[in-house]
Structure 1
Amino acid sequence: MWFLNSVNLLFLVCSVALHLDAVNAWSPTNGYAPGVVDCDENINLVRKADAVSDDEADWLKVRHESTVPALKDFLQRGFKGFTNDTSIIDKLLATQDTAPKVAIACSGGGYRAMLSGAGMISAMDNRTDGANDHGLGGLLQSSTYLAGLSGGNWLVGTLAYNNWTSVQAIINNMTDDNSIWDISNSIVNPGGINIFSSISRWDDISDAVEEKKKAGFNTSITDVWGRALSYNFFPSLDEGGVGYTWNTLRDVDVFKNGEMPFPISVAVGRYPGTQVVNLNATVFEFNPFEMGSWDYTLHTFTDVRYAGTNVTNGTPNVTGKCVAGFDNTGFVMGTSSSLFNQFLLQLNTTDLPSFLYNLLHGFLTDASDDYDDISIWAPNPFYEITNIPSNYSQSISEDDTLYLVDGGEDGQNIPLTPLLQTEREIDVIFALDNSADTDQSWPDGFSLTQTYARQFGLQGKGIAFPYVPDVNTFTNLGLNTRPTFFGCDARNLTDLESIPPLVVYMPNTRESFNSNTSTFKMSYSTSERFKMIQNGFEAVTMKNLTKDENFMGCISCAILRRKQESLNYTLPSECDACFEKYCWNGTVDATTPISSTTSSSASSTSTSDSGNKENSARILAPRSTLSLLIGGLASVFISF
Structure 2
Amino acid sequence: MNLLISLLLLSISLVLGSSPSGGYAPGIVQCPINSNSNSSSSSKKQWIKQRQLKVNKSLIEFLKSANLSNFNPQNFIDAKDYQGINLGLAFSGGSYRAMLNGAGQLMALDSRSSSSPSESGSGSGSLGGILQSANYIGGLSGSSWLLGSLAMQGWPTVEEVVFENPHDVWNLTSSRQLVNQTGLWTIVFPVMFDNMNKALKAKEKAGFETSLTDAWARGLAHQLFPKGKDNYGSSETWSDIRNIDAFANHDMPFPLLSD
Q: What's the TM-score, normalizing by structure 2?
A: 0.83
2:99 matched residue in structure 1: 114
Counterpart mapping for 1:34-113 below 5 A: 34-37=26-29, 40=32, 43-44=33-34, 47-48=37-38, 51-78=39-66, 80=67, 82-84=68-70, 86-93=71-78, 95-97=81-83, 99-113=84-98
* Amino acid in the other structure paired with 2:216: W
Matched, 1:224 2:203: no
Preserved contact between residue 173 and residue 179 of structure 1 (Cα < 8 Å)? no
- SS of equivalent to 2:28: strand
Which one of 107, 110, 134 corresponds to residue 143 of structure 1? 134
Shift of 1:158: 1.4
Which one of 162, 166, 171 corresponds to residue 182 of structure 1? 171
- SS of equivalent to 2:231: helix
1:239 matched residue in structure 2: 231
Shift of 1:218: 1.8
User: Structure 1 CA distance, aligned partners of 2:162 and 2:78?
Assistant: 34
User: Structure 2 CA distance, aligned partners of 1:117 and 1:183?
Assistant: 15
- SS of equivalent to 1:154: helix
Preserved contact between residue 139 and residue 256 of structure 2 (Cα < 8 Å)? yes
The change in CA–CA distance for 1:113 and 1:39 in structure 2 (over 3 A counts) is: closer
More helix by share: 2
User: Structure 1 CA distance, aligned partners of 2:220 and 2:36?
Assistant: 30
Counterpart mapping for 1:597-616 below 5 A: none
The change in CA–CA distance for 1:192 and 1:136 in structure 2 (over 3 A counts) is: farther
- SS of equivalent to 1:136: coil
Preserved contact between residue 19 and residue 236 of structure 2 (Cα < 8 Å)? yes
Partner deviation per Cα, 1:491-529 (whole Å, 9 max, x = no partner):
xxxxxxxxxxxxxxxxxxxxxxxxxxxxxxxxxxxxxxx
The change in CA–CA distance for 1:88 and 1:77 in structure 2 (over 3 A counts) is: closer
The change in CA–CA distance for 1:253 and 1:191 in structure 2 (over 3 A counts) is: farther
Runs of at least 5 residues in structure 2 that lack an aligned partner in the other structure = 1-12
- SS of equivalent to 1:147: strand
Larger Rg: 1
- SS of equivalent to 1:47: coil
Matched, 1:198 2:184: no
2:23 matched residue in structure 1: 31
The change in CA–CA distance for 1:198 and 1:191 in structure 2 (over 3 A counts) is: farther
Which one of 235, 246, 249 corresponds to residue 257 of structure 1? 249
Preserved contact between residue 72 and residue 93 of structure 1 (Cα < 8 Å)? no
* Amino acid in the other structure paired with 2:50: V
Preserved contact between residue 16 and residue 236 of structure 2 (Cα < 8 Å)? no
Partner deviation per Cα, 1:421-480 (whole Å, 9 max, x = no partner):
xxxxxxxxxxxxxxxxxxxxxxxxxxxxxxxxxxxxxxxxxxxxxxxxxxxxxxxxxxxx
Partner deviation per Cα, 1:59-91 (whole Å, 9 max, x = no partner):
10111121111111101101x2x332x225324
User: Structure 1 CA distance, aligned partners of 2:168 and 2:190?
Assistant: 20
The change in CA–CA distance for 1:179 and 1:246 in structure 2 (over 3 A counts) is: same
1:128 matched residue in structure 2: 113
User: Structure 1 CA distance, aligned partners of 2:113 and 2:73?
Assistant: 28
Aligned length: 237
Preserved contact between residue 190 and residue 198 of structure 1 (Cα < 8 Å)? no
Shift of 1:197: 2.3
- Aligned alpha-carbon RMSD (Å): 2.3
* Amino acid in the other structure paired with 1:172: F
* Amino acid in the other structure paired with 1:246: W
User: Structure 2 CA distance, aligned partners of 1:76 and 1:120?
Assistant: 22
Preserved contact between residue 17 and residue 235 of structure 2 (Cα < 8 Å)? no
The change in CA–CA distance for 1:54 and 1:220 in structure 2 (over 3 A counts) is: farther
* Amino acid in the other structure paired with 2:179: V
Runs of at least 5 residues in structure 1 that lack an aligned partner in the other structure = 1-18, 267-335, 337-640
Which one of 180, 188, 206 corresponds to residue 215 of structure 1? 206
* Amino acid in the other structure paired with 1:83: S
Shift of 1:124: 0.5
Partner deviation per Cα, 1:554-575 (whole Å, 9 max, x = no partner):
xxxxxxxxxxxxxxxxxxxxxx
Shift of 1:101: 1.1
- SS of equivalent to 1:129: coil
* Amino acid in the other structure paired with 2:247: F
Preserved contact between residue 28 and residue 34 of structure 1 (Cα < 8 Å)? yes
Preserved contact between residue 17 and residue 233 of structure 2 (Cα < 8 Å)? no
1:3 matched residue in structure 2: none
* Amino acid in the other structure paired with 1:57: K
1:559 matched residue in structure 2: none
The change in CA–CA distance for 1:249 and 1:216 in structure 2 (over 3 A counts) is: same
The change in CA–CA distance for 1:190 and 1:183 in structure 2 (over 3 A counts) is: farther
Partner deviation per Cα, 1:249-282 (whole Å, 9 max, x = no partner):
012221111110001101xxxxxxxxxxxxxxxx
Preserved contact between residue 75 and residue 89 of structure 1 (Cα < 8 Å)? no
The change in CA–CA distance for 1:107 and 1:45 in structure 2 (over 3 A counts) is: farther
Partner deviation per Cα, 1:357-403 (whole Å, 9 max, x = no partner):
xxxxxxxxxxxxxxxxxxxxxxxxxxxxxxxxxxxxxxxxxxxxxxx
